[in-house]
């Protein structure tokens, strides 16, 4: 686990936090991707995260992150995750969006991810399956078409294919 202060990171930069999170070094934190449409007008949230093409990815301590997610989306993050976990989709490995599983069936709709909520879970050989292979990234996305979906993978072994547990 790293400290929240990232030496060498400039003001408004989250590069060190995001890289550490994606590498499984910040398992007590959560990551939140928000499109520009979900960012506050003063830019305060944008200055706290790493800018990506369509928005910002924030990495924050777990409880603070859950509160920030609720404030930014109006949704409880764990209820959102619970609903999204029933549908497999693709969330990009840098958490900057995803590919909606309904895009083929509903081509007329806008299928850009509006937000992503993600957290890592420490390797747990006792559980078996995917969790025995390494730390697992859990990522949950909400599409503009209204579809919620999930994607999980062993950190460092990203695949667009849904993870098979067994």
Domain locations along the chain = 15-154
Q: 11 pLDDT exceeds 60? A: no
Confidence of residue 3 (pLDDT cuts 50, 70, 90): very low
Gap between the Cα atoms of 124 and 144, Å rounded: 34
Q: Choose between 32 and 44: higher pLDDT.
A: 32
Report the pLDDT value the prediction gives residue 5, as an integer from 0 to 100: 37
Per residue in 50-77, pLDDT (tens digit) is 888 888 999 999 999 898 888 878 899 9
Reported confidence tier of residue 8, pLDDT bands at 50, 70, 90: very low
pTM value?
Answer: 0.85
Nearest to 58 by CA among 87, 26, 90, 83: 26
d(CA 18, CA 22): 6
**139: Cβ contacts below 8 Å, ≥ 6 apart:** 91, 95, 98, 116, 117, 118, 150, 151, 152
Quick: pLDDT tens for 95-112: 999 999 999 999 999 999
| Mean pLDDT, all residues of the chain | 86
């Amino acid at each position: 686990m790293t400290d929240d202060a990232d030496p060498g990171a400039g003001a408004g930069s989250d590069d060190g936090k995001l890289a550490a999170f994606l590498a499984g070094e910040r398992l007590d934190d959560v990551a939140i991707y928000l499109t520009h449409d979900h960012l506050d007008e003063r830019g305060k949230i944008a200055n706290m995260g790493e800018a990506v093409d369509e928005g910002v990815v924030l990495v924050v301590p777990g409880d603070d992150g859950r509160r920030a997610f609720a404030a930014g989306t109006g949704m409880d993050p764990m209820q959102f995750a619970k609903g999204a976990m029933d549908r497999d989709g693709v969330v990009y490995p840098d958490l900057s969006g995803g590919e909606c599983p309904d895009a083929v069936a509903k081509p007329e709709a806008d299928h850009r991810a509006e937000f992503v909520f993600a957290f890592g879970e420490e390797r747990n050989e006792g559980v078996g399956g995917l969790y025995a292979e390494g730390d697992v990234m859990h990522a949950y996305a909400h599409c503009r078409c209204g579809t919620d979906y999930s994607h999980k993978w062993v950190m460092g072994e990203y695949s667009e294919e849904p993870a098979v547990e067994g």
